[in-house]
Structure 1
Amino acid sequence: MWLLLVLSLAVALAWYHLHAPLPAGIREPRKLMLLDAVCKVVFHLAVLMERLGSGHHVLWIRQTSKHFEGTMKNLIKQGSAGVLRVSDVTFDGVPVRVYQPGACGEEGRPRRGLLYFHGGGWTFGSAKEGSYDENSRLMSNKLHMVLVSVEYRLFPEARFPTPYLDCLAAAKHFLSPGVLAKYNVDPCRVGVSGDSAGGNLAAAVAQEVAMDDSMRVKFSVQALIYPVVQALDFNTPSYVQNQAMPILNRPLMVHFWLQYLGADPSLKSRFLSNHQQSTMTPELMARVDWTSLLPPKYKDGYTTVAVHGKGARGAAREEVPGLRDVRAAPLLARTEVLSRCPRAYVMTCEYDVLRDDGLMYARRLRDAGVAVTSDHYEDGFHGCLSLTLRPFQFDVGVRALGRYIQWLNDNL
């Protein structure tokens, strides 16, 4: 009986989400609807399985994703990424996957290096799976680059600041002269990159490394793909415009933040209405003020949702201490810190709740004197850079990946 219930639920959810309206700017709407339906069905089934005693729903989703990937690999043969040496090792106790390109006539010449942090809301994702692994192989070969993809700890096993500390430890290890020499990496050509939650970690680690005067080698570039960089305003124009978009909607992003910061899930409604701003200083709020940081085209027709004064249920700062921690929210960094960061590439998508996060961070970097390349995709949506493999390959993802690789080729 319960199996029939599960199947009925799956069919109902799939039917509903396949018929949910999408913006006209999305070029492959049916494919995106189907992908969203699959994600929603898997999530609801995972929650049901948890209630039936099958373990935490996050772990169930991870296992389901791994099985799905294995099935797709057996059914669909993806193109070869070329000859590589791939090794799973640890950097200062943190698991990483290292991609080293094969010989191409430049064996004695130092290579460029890239440290990559995957996305997934600090909850999902793996360097060893899906498009993260395939794209890393592609980039390592195409750019003749040593790429290190970090397996930082995830929720529910870990919360802030553990993922950040994992990434920072891996970064310091990779940037040490001895390790760079071991992998034949040019110390003047090392970058850090990440997407979504990984973009958050990349930006935070780039700031810390830039300010650490004890480190001889610094990152020369940072490449941030639709990064999440603040948790003080969930009513920016992009959060309002795209609050129900597939892949990453507004409530889900708040959910990810609460998990990451170890906050009570009951705070979701307060965060959605910006009550977490109640004890923040004007100086701090100015660093996330979209009315001054966004171009006019993105803020016209939208109004701020601001909360002032201590709420009746207590100050959000005491409930969630990490809210004002720059290691969790890089957009809150002081201008003096941003000014020491490496030149940047920031990719944003029109149909993404995190669009304005990326645009604001790019603006603050520019205002601090950092050279920034901004790539904005009018038909883009959150997660599209990871959607480059069949059966969920999107044209915008392929274009975005190509442009990202080209920027790294020209700047790293």
Structure 2
Amino acid sequence: MYFHVVFLPGAVQGQPSLQSKFRGLQGHTSNLIHSLGLSHHLIALNFIIVSFGKKSASSSPKVKVTDTDFDGVEVRVFEGSPKPNEQLLRSVVYIHGGGWALASAKISYYDELCTSMAEELNAVIVSIEYRLVPQVHFPEQIYDVIRATRYFLQPEVLEKYKVDPARVAVSGDSAGGNLAAALGQQFTYIASLKNKLKLQALIYPVLQALDFNTPSYQQNVNTPILPRHVMVKYWVDYFKGNYDFVQAMIVNNHTALDVERAAALRARLNWTSLLPPSIRKNYKPVIQTTGDARITQEIPQLLDATSSPLIADEEVLQDLPKTYILTCEHDVLRDDGIMYAKRLESAGVNVTLDHFEDGFHGCMIFTSWPTNFSVGIRTRNSYIKWLDQNL
């Protein structure tokens, strides 16, 4: 395990003020549409995001791009070219982020990322267009990515795309990292799929909904792009829960000591032992003695390892493939990734933890003008380099 650290004096390089202001405008517009009864605010917001950023599939000199479906799930396939001495290509199944509710495999950010991966890795990239909240909720998104990936892993499909069956990885960012981690764990339960994935690469993944007061949640409570209250609302939306529970969840009332099962599961993400002193700093755990049992009674998915891969049994973790986890200092999800790396390492999995001190949530897709942040370019280069060396 290692940390990729970049120290910068003064302010964080590439402070995402422009991007966060634009997202704020998008959010206000979608909330206005929702308040007028015209549409669900997430549908309205995603319409704005996709409308401004959609990129049609087109061939480039080195990458062939095709929109199709795998077992009824829409995908965008990016086909690189084999190297002169290779007959078969390696491949990455990619799952985009967006809080399980936003974005698309077809917007420019992800289209450009997957095109770069296909070109630089000489690989086939399958970007999954899974269904989103509020049309569907947990666990339908997981079913979509499992169904599309299982279809792709069929011998005849791999042969069609000239993919080496021994060189397939799964990857995703943010909520897509959550789905990639969940997919990896679900594959360990299926004998025919066990060991089918050579690697998993998780980019600032969201991995647990039990503790919203880890040091990174406390440190970055109001950090742009993904403040804590927004992440908690994404979870509630994912589970089709009640917004009335958000404030109680923010202070960990849903996993208080008197909430059945919660205390035992929280032991699996005990950050006082899973995080190094440099990350823990002087932050204190927030553990309520008395909580609100109604929350987990009405939203039992909060305590499900399928939604929170960080709390999976060690027997599941030990069967996972070689893993890359990228984390950013200025991100509420930083500690999710670091704790997962530690749990995987303890279970015997080969783990690379790539931490960027000047990184912020979402930075890896911000590599083109006007959001061409230096740290976005460096995180992308580091991620692709690891895939190139290990896949």
Q: Which amino acid in 2 is paired with 1:280?
A: R
Superposition RMSD in Å: 1.8
* Distance in structure 2 (CA, Å) of the matches to 1:325 and 1:281: 10
Larger Rg: 1
Secondary structure of 1:262's match?
coil
The corresponding residue for 2:50 is 66
Q: Is the counterpart of residue 302 in structure 1 residue 280 in structure 2?
A: no
Partner in structure 2 of residue 256 of structure 1: 234
Counterpart CA distance in 1 for 2:210 and 2:142 is 19
The equivalences for 1:107-118 within 5 A come to 109-118=87-96
Structure 2 counterpart of 1:322:
301
Which among 84, 92, 110 is matched to residue 132 of structure 1? Answer: 110
Q: Give the unaligned 5+ runs of structure 1.
A: 1-22, 74-79
Equivalent residue of 1:113, what SS? Answer: strand
Task: Identify which of 22, 26, 38 aligns with 2:12.
Answer: 26
Determine if contact 1:111/1:145 at 8 Å carries over to the other structure.
Answer: yes
Counterpart of 1:37 (choices 11, 18, 21) is: 21
Q: 2:325 aligns with which of 336, 346, 357?
A: 346
More moved, 327-336 vs 167-176: 167-176
Specify the alignment match of 2:267 in structure 1: 286
For the residue of structure 1 that corresponds to 2:191, the secondary structure is coil
Describe the superposition over 1:308-342 as per-residue Cα deviations: whole angstroms up to 9, x where unpaired. 45x4x544321111112111110110011000000
**Cα displacement (A) at 1:178:** 2.0
1:288 Cα deviation after fit: 1.2
Query: What is the TM-score with the length of structure 2 in the denominator?
Result: 0.92
Following TM superposition, the consecutive aligned residue runs of length 4 or more in structure 1 with deviations greater than 6 angstroms are none
* Equivalent position SS for 1:327: coil
**Residue of structure 2 aligned with 1:173, choices 151, 163, 185:** 151
Equivalent residue number for residue 90 of structure 1 = 69
Counterpart of 2:185 (choices 201, 207, 226) is 207
Does structure 1 conserve the Cα–Cα contact (< 8 Å) formed by 2:81 and 2:123? no
Superposition TM-score, scaled by structure 1 size: 0.88
Match of 1:211, SS?
A: coil
SS at match of 1:287: helix
Flag structure 2 segments of 5+ consecutive residues without an equivalent: 1-8
Superposed displacement of residue 216, structure 1? 6.6
Q: What residue number does 1:362 align with? A: 341
Query: Which amino acid is 2:352 matched to?
Result: T
The residue that corresponds to 1:152 in the other structure is 130
Question: Larger relative CO (CA 8 A, sep 6+): 1 or 2?
Answer: 2
Cα distance in 1 between the residues matched to 2:121 and 2:387: 8
**What do residues 343-402 of structure 1 show as CA deviations (whole Å, max 9, x unaligned)?**
100000000000000000000000000000110000000000010111111000000000
**Aligned-pair CA distance for 1:171:** 1.5
Choose 339-348 or 57-66, whichever is displaced more.
57-66
What one-letter code is carried by the residue in structure 2 that aligns with 1:386?
Answer: I
Distance in 2 between residues matched to 1:134 and 1:81, nearest whole Å: 11
CA apart distance, 1:132: 0.3
The residue aligned with 2:367 is 388
Aligned equivalents of 2:389 and 2:171: distance in 1? Answer: 15
CA distance in 2, matches of 1:307, 1:81: 55
Gap change, CA 1:226 and 1:174, over 3 Å in 2 = same
The answer to whether residue 308 in structure 2 is matched with residue 333 in structure 1 is no
**Does the CA contact (< 8 Å) of 1:155 and 1:260 recur in 2?**
yes
**1:83 CA displacement:** 2.3
Secondary structure (helix, strand or coil) at the match of 1:141 reads helix
Change (3 A) 1:284 1:217: closer
Does the CA-based 8 Å contact 2:177-2:206 persist in structure 1? yes
- % of aligned pairs identical? 45
1:281 Cα offset (Å) = 4.7
What is residue 224 of structure 2 aligned with on the other side?
Answer: 246
For residue 183 of structure 2, what is the amino acid of its counterpart? V
1:204-257 Cα distance to aligned partner (Å, 9 max, x none): 101111231123761000000000000000000000000100000000000000
Is the contact between residue 177 and residue 217 of structure 1 (CA under 8 Å) also seen in structure 2? Answer: no
